[in-house]
């Protein structure tokens, strides 16, 4: 898709689980929604879980990204790593890949990296991003402006625990 020209479809196109929250809400694809999808693929590769998989842990059900983010927040990111990858891996590289995956799948479109930034981190050219220990929750507010006839969505951040 040429993002400079805007969306060329009349409806949502994509696979559930890979679609960025703002794309689902607005129907507008962007470079940032592509980055989100990249992050989801990275997380699938490193965890061995599907994007839409529900993971049961301690009587709780979570989606893949929330599950990985919880492990990140507890400082035990490698617990979420696919067992098949645990043969001859470099811990630093896997942690970097998982953190970049979370960063790319950040619910706030404004806090996602560009692909260039993600690659710089993956190449260890720049330091890892500092993500919050709890996954932020995307909150959408609909607003009408006089010059716009359709509902526009804006995104704000709030933590799951309400702080």
Choice among 14-18, 93-97, 146-150 with the minimum mean pLDDT: 146-150
Give ∠ CA 102-105-109 in degrees, rounded to 5.
Answer: 130
As a whole number of angstroms, the distance between CA 111 and CA 135 comes to 12
Boundaries of domain holding 58 = 21-133
Residue 124 within a domain: yes
Helix crossing, 31-47 with 64-73: angle to 10°?
70
- Overall pTM > 0.75: no
pLDDT digits (tens, 9 = 90+) for 44-69: 999 999 887 889 988 889 888 999 99
pLDDT score, position 143: 46
Residue 12 within a domain: no
pLDDT score, position 149: 33
42 and 97 Cβ atoms separated by less than 8 Å: yes
Residue 8 within a domain: no
As a whole number of angstroms, the distance between CA 160 and CA 157 comes to 10
| CATH classification at residue 51 | 1.10.510.10
Concatenated DSSP letters of 116-136:
HHHHHHHTTSSPPP---SS-E
pLDDT score, position 18: 58
Is the pLDDT assigned to residue 42 strictly greater than 70?
yes
The alpha carbon dihedral of 162, 102, 95, 59 has a sign of positive
Q: End-to-end alpha-carbon separation of the chain, Å?
A: 38
The alpha carbon dihedral of 110, 112, 116, 117 has a sign of positive
Residue 45 within a domain: yes
Residue 162 within a domain: no
Residue 156 within a domain: no
Residue 14 within a domain: no
Query: How many independent structural domains does the chain possess?
Result: 1
Report helix, strand or coil for 139: strand
pLDDT digits (tens, 9 = 90+) for 100-114: 999 999 988 889 999
Residue 2 within a domain: no
Report helix, strand or coil for 152: strand
């Amino acid at each position: 898709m040429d993002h400079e020209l805007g969306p060329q479809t009349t409806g949502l196109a994509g696979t559930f689980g890979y679609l960025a929250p703002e794309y689902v809400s607005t129907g507008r694809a962007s470079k940032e929604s592509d980055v989100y999808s990249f992050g989801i693929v990275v997380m699938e590769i490193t965890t061995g879980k599907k994007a839409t998989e529900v993971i049961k842990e301690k009587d709780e059900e979570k989606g893949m990204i929330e599950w990985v983010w919880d492990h990140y927040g507890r400082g035990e990111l490698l617990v979420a790593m696919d067992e098949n990858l645990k043969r001859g891996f470099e811990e630093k590289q896997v942690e970097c890949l998982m953190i970049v995956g979370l960063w790319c799948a950040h619910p706030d479109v404004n806090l996602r990296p560009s692909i260039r930034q993600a690659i710089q981190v993956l190449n260890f050219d720049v330091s890892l991003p500092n993500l919050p220990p709890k996954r932020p929750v995307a909150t959408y507010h609909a607003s009408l402006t006089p010059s716009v006839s359709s509902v526009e969505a804006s995104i704000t951040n709030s933590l799951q625990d309400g702080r």
